Every structure is written in C-alpha cells, then in structure tokens.
C-alpha cells in the first residue's frame, strides 16, 4: 500500500530532519496505518455483493386420472419460471435444464447439485373437471428440508391467483428484495380468458415436442387461443415461434 511506502521512505530519508527521530514515532504511525487498513478491508468486504439466491422449478407431477393433463402441469411450472425471471436478484434455472429431470425420481439434493442451485420448487397437480388440487414445496437443497409448502384446493378459475401466490411465496421465503415494478411483473396477467390460457399452454406443450405433428397441433392451439381472446399477445408470440421453428427444421410446406 502507498501508506507503507511513505513510512519506508520517511525511515530512509537522506535528510536527517525528515526521518523518524524515535522508534516510538514509527510505532505510532504503524499502529495508525494498521487501523486504517483494517477499516478499509472491512468496508470492502461489506461492499462485496452477496451471491443471488438460486432456484430451479421442476415440472409439476400430473396426479390426475387423465395422462393428457401433462400439458397443464408443465405449463403451470413454466408460468412460474417466467414470473420469477423478472426478478433481478434471483437466479432462475432455465426451463430446458429443469425439465430434464422430469420423472427422474432423483434425490432433490442430487438434482440441486447438478443444476447448481440452492433451492428447488416441486409440486403436483390433480385436475378433475373444474376442480384443482395443487401442492407446492420449496426445498433447501443443502439438507433436503422444506422451507415452505402449501396445498391449494380451488376452482380452475383461481389458477392465476394460485400461480401468483406460489411465486410470491418463493420471493418471501428466499427473502428476495424486489426492485421497482418487479412485483407487478410477477403477477401480470396477459389474459383473463381461461379457455385461451388453456389453449396457449397446450400450444407450448406441443411445439416443444419439436416434431411435424407437434408443430401442427401447436399452430391450431395458438390460433384458437387468439380467437378466444384477440388481445392475448402470448398466443401470437407462440404462433410466431412455431413458424420460425418449422422453417428452421425444414417443415414448412
């Protein structure tokens, strides 16, 4: 440090009047310098940004009698991921990486280690007619303990509220500080039309199969979705994605 150099130069000064006259004077300056350096180091440590908390949202398990409800379970998980990605102070693992563990039945600690995250969200969905039973658990990877869990017995029309409640519960339990309009973005709704929303989730499920048949079914779902709600922008975005992917894969007729 510059201060130590100055002390050394003063000790070796050519002019006797510019040197330390007594050993005690050197000691006084060194003690003063030590305190200044310790204070500076302490401030620098405090200023170092703490690592962001991290989370992976695993695909919710389908507990319904109908296996075709997989699209709804995966879609709900993906919507929670999309909501959490609006938070600057939270590291959220991408859907592709998290969904690679679907039906793997691995220990949550191993999954967390492979994804390099501190926390996992897992859950299940049982859908019967217009009734929903959804469970969600926020798990601490280091020891497999539950930080938070909740069960929701609601009507289908409450699905948006449930997703908002789960996302905000994660924020609260991980003690993430929200900035600016992040809370608004987390709970933002792009449609209030449940039929359009359901069709949109189906469209997402089909195009991610990356097959000709999947692209065709996805296109049909997105087109039906924006007919149900012409202002549902995500359905147009989904359709554009299908057209681009179809072209990329050489499947455009």
The predicted-structure confidence for 179-197, as pLDDT tens digits, reads as follows 889 999 999 999 999 999 9
> Would the pLDDT of 253 be above 50?
no
Reported as a single tens digit per residue, the pLDDT across 86-124 is: 999 999 999 999 999 998 888 999 999 999 999 999 999
CA distance 154 to 143: 31
193 burial via Cβ count (<10 Å: 0-12, 13-18, 19+): middle
Terminal alpha carbon distance of the chain: 70
Q: What is the pLDDT of residue 22?
A: 64
Quick one: which of 152, 126, 154, 145 has its CA closest to 61? 126
Cβ atoms within 10 Å of 59's Cβ, excluding its own: 21
The number of residues making up the chain comes to 253
> Would the pLDDT of 251 be above 50?
no
pTM to 2 decimals?
A: 0.77
Domain layout of the chain by residue ranges: 2-47, 54-186, 194-248
CA distance 90 to 139: 16
What pairing do the DSSP bridges indicate for beta strands 119-128 and 131-140?
antiparallel
Cβ atoms within 10 Å of 248's Cβ, excluding its own: 10
Q: For 54-186, which CATH class?
A: alpha beta
Architecture of the 194-248 domain: Alpha Horseshoe (1.25)
């Amino acid at each position: 440090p510059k201060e130590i150099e100055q002390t050394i130069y003063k000790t070796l000064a050519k002019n006797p009047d510019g040197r330390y006259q007594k050993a005690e004077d050197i000691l006084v300056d060194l003690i003063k310098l030590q305190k200044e350096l310790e204070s500076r180091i302490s401030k620098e440590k405090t200023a170092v940004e703490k690592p962001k908390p991290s989370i992976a949202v695993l695909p919710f398990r389908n507990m319904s009698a109908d296996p075709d409800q997989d699209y709804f379970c995966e879609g709900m998980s993906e919507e929670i991921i999309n909501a959490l990605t609006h938070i600057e102070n939270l590291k959220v693992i991408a859907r592709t990486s998290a969904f690679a563990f679907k039906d793997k039945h691995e220990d949550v600690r191993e999954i967390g280690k492979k994804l390099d995250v501190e926390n996992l969200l897992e859950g299940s969905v049982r859908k019967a007619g217009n009734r929903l039973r959804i469970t969600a658990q926020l798990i601490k990877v280091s020891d497999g303990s539950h930080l938070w869990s909740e069960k929701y017995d609601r009507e289908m029309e409450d699905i948006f509220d449930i997703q908002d409640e789960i996302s905000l519960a994660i924020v609260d339990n991980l003690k993430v500080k929200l900035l600016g309009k992040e809370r608004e973005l987390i709970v933002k709704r792009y449609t209030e039309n449940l039929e359009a929303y359901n069709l949109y989730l189906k469209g997402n499920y089909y195009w991610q199969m990356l097959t000709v048949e999947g692209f065709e079914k996805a296109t049909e779902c997105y087109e039906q979705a924006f007919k149900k709600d012409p202002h549902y922008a995500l359905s147009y975005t989904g359709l554009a994605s299908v057209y681009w992917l179809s072209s990329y894969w050489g499947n455009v007729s």
